[in-house]
Amino acid sequence: MGMAGESQNWVLMVTAQTPTNIAVIKYWGKRDESLILPVNDSISVTLDPDHLCTTTTVAVSSSFQQDRMWLNGKEIPLSGGRYQNCLREIRNRASDVEDKKQGIRITKEDWGKLHLHIASYNNFPTAAGLASSAAGFACLVFALAKLMNVKEDESKLSAIARQGSGSACRSLYGGFVKWKMGREEDGNDSLAVQLVNEEHWDDLFIIIAVVSSRQKETSSTTGMRESVQTSLLLQHRAKEVVPKRILQMEEAIRNRDFASFAQLTCADSNQFHAVCLDTSPPIFYMNDTSHRIISIIEKWNRSEETPQVAYTFDAGPNAVLIARNRKTAASLIQRLLYYFPPNTDDLSSYIIGDKSILQDAGLEGIKDVEALLPPPEIKDNIPSQKYNGDVSYFICTRPGRGPVLLSDEGQALLNPVTGLPK
């Protein structure tokens, strides 16, 4: 190999951080399983990586014997088709890399023969059903592209990330992002574009209620396949409903029109879950707690002149609640704590992410959440029921930026000398 020094002890390393995203117009159903090509366009909002992200370190060395990967500290096999597709596509696009400090030069040809070590870590529970594969594959592709000096832009990279996990293509940008379904057979035009960056609509607050869910839901991959095969509503949705909704959603985002945004977001979430019910056998992602949260938000929205909060649910019971501004987010947290008080006095472990929202809601240092007053839309005569412990915790966050490189070696997940997990 054209590598200066030919010594066996060099390791070249890159670390990146990539946020997760939540779809407001849903992706559900593939028209091509192996290339992961969707039956409709989708639109998502990227979440602040401080609260929800994947960190990935990728390393290359002539001393590595094989490609290896560690996820949250555990080694996992890289034999899966989705990993292999991403690795192959990036290797095919690699350019020459020179590291003067270590005296290494890696040519385009070398990349095919060298092995990689990958370590990845999610700062949120993988089982929480918060699209960890979206952040994961986006981060993998972004980091590898930097390591191998791939010259293509984020949009082109998104088409590679898509082959790892469909929604991953949307995590290569911050703000609001559209995944264009594309028309080509080879999927080259099925990629993500940024609609607006995270500064465009920076009033929005996002509160995720992580619902205590005891059972594992149907995996998205299986669920989508069954919906495509059996749901007539899915065909109608993809052909008639989504194309119009996409245009309306783009306009609502452009104009920061919260009323339209909320109406479209809630309707699209409900229709996605209707498609799941219309699948044979039916798929149930939401549970009683999810349904209660919907009716609380619907009641509140109806009692105000204009919608205050949008809700959306992915393939699981967790509620993603988008509030029009900080003040509304504070009222939302008060309402949620009223209905779903924690089984603990310690609100700081029950609310993670941006804790300043507790201050705004006047809840800092409150020991007895049970004593909170009912929200005004509940008429005095109806005693409302409380659901202790039905929500595991709340995550307070906002729309955030896309992937970034971390230059501080202390944040790397692999040892710079051995290339093994720290």
Q: Which CATH number among 3.10.20.30, 3.30.230.10, 3.40.50.300, 3.90.1150.10 corresponds to the domain 12-198+406-411?
A: 3.30.230.10
Structure confidence by residue, pLDDT tens digits, 137-184:
999 999 999 999 999 999 999 999 999 999 999 999 999 999 999 999
Q: Helix and strand tally (H, E) in the chain?
A: 11, 19
Structure confidence by residue, pLDDT tens digits, 79-133:
989 999 999 999 999 999 999 988 999 999 999 999 999 999 988 765 555 667 8
Q: Which amino acid is at 186?
A: D
Residue span(s) of the chain under CATH 3.30.230.10 come to 12-198+406-411
According to the model, what pLDDT value does residue 3 have?
55
Instruction: Output the CA angle 53-57-61, nearest 5 degrees.
Output: 165
According to the model, what pLDDT value does residue 5 have?
46
Whether 381 shows a pLDDT value over 70: the answer reads no
Residue span(s) of the chain under CATH 3.30.70.890 come to 205-397
Q: Which amino acid is at 106?
A: I
Q: How far does Cα 112 stand from its chain's mean position?
A: 31
Q: Which CATH number among 3.30.70.890, 3.90.480.20, 3.30.70.920, 3.30.70.100 corresponds to the domain 205-397?
A: 3.30.70.890
Q: Using alpha carbons only, how large is the chain's radius of gyration in Å?
A: 23
- Report the Cα–Cα distance between both ends of the chain, in Å, rounded: 28
Mean pLDDT, residues 364-376 taken together: 74
| CB within 8 Å of 271: residues ≥ 6 apart | 26, 233, 237, 241
According to the model, what pLDDT value does residue 379 have?
66
Gap between the Cα atoms of 422 and 404, Å rounded: 21
Structure confidence by residue, pLDDT tens digits, 231-264:
999 999 999 999 999 999 999 999 999 999 999 9
Least confident of 49-63, 134-148, 208-222, 227-241: 208-222
| CB within 8 Å of 54: residues ≥ 6 apart | 17, 18, 20, 120, 121, 122, 123, 132, 135, 136, 138, 139
Residue 241 burial by Cβ neighbours in a 10 Å radius (0-12, 13-18, 19+):
middle
Strands (E), 112-237: 115-122, 176-179, 192-196, 205-211
Gap between the Cα atoms of 269 and 282, Å rounded: 16
Structure confidence by residue, pLDDT tens digits, 348-367:
778 888 888 888 888 776 66
**Entry pTM:** 0.94
Contact (Cβ atoms closer than 8 angstroms) between residue 53 and residue 135: yes
CB atoms closer than 10 angstroms to residue 107? 14
| CB within 8 Å of 275: residues ≥ 6 apart | 28, 227, 231, 233, 234, 237
User: What percentage of the chain carries pLDDT values higher than 90?
Assistant: 78
Contact (Cβ atoms closer than 8 angstroms) between residue 346 and residue 373: no
Contact (Cβ atoms closer than 8 angstroms) between residue 196 and residue 168: no
State the DSSP H helix or E strand holding residue 30, giving kind and residue range, or none if neither: strand 30-32
Q: For 45, left (φ over 0), alpha (ψ -120 to 50), or beta?
A: beta
The structure tokens listed for 332 are 């939302």
Q: How far does Cα 177 stand from its chain's mean position?
A: 12
Gap between the Cα atoms of 292 and 422, Å rounded: 44
Which single residue is written with the structure tokens 């495509």?
A: 228
Whether 373 shows a pLDDT value over 80: the answer reads no
**pLDDT, mean over the chain:** 91
Long-range (24+ apart) CB contacts under 8 A made by 293-299 are 293/209, 293/319, 293/321, 293/336, 294/319, 296/335, 296/336, 296/339, 297/266, 297/321, 299/377
Gap between the Cα atoms of 388 and 168, Å rounded: 34
According to the model, what pLDDT value does residue 7 have?
56
Structure confidence by residue, pLDDT tens digits, 60-78:
999 999 999 999 999 999 9
Gap between the Cα atoms of 245 and 238, Å rounded: 10
Per DSSP bridges, beta strands 176-179 and 192-196 are antiparallel
The structure tokens listed for 358 are 């507790």
Whether 217 shows a pLDDT value over 50: the answer reads yes
Per DSSP bridges, beta strands 351-353 and 391-397 are parallel
Whether 2 shows a pLDDT value over 90: the answer reads no
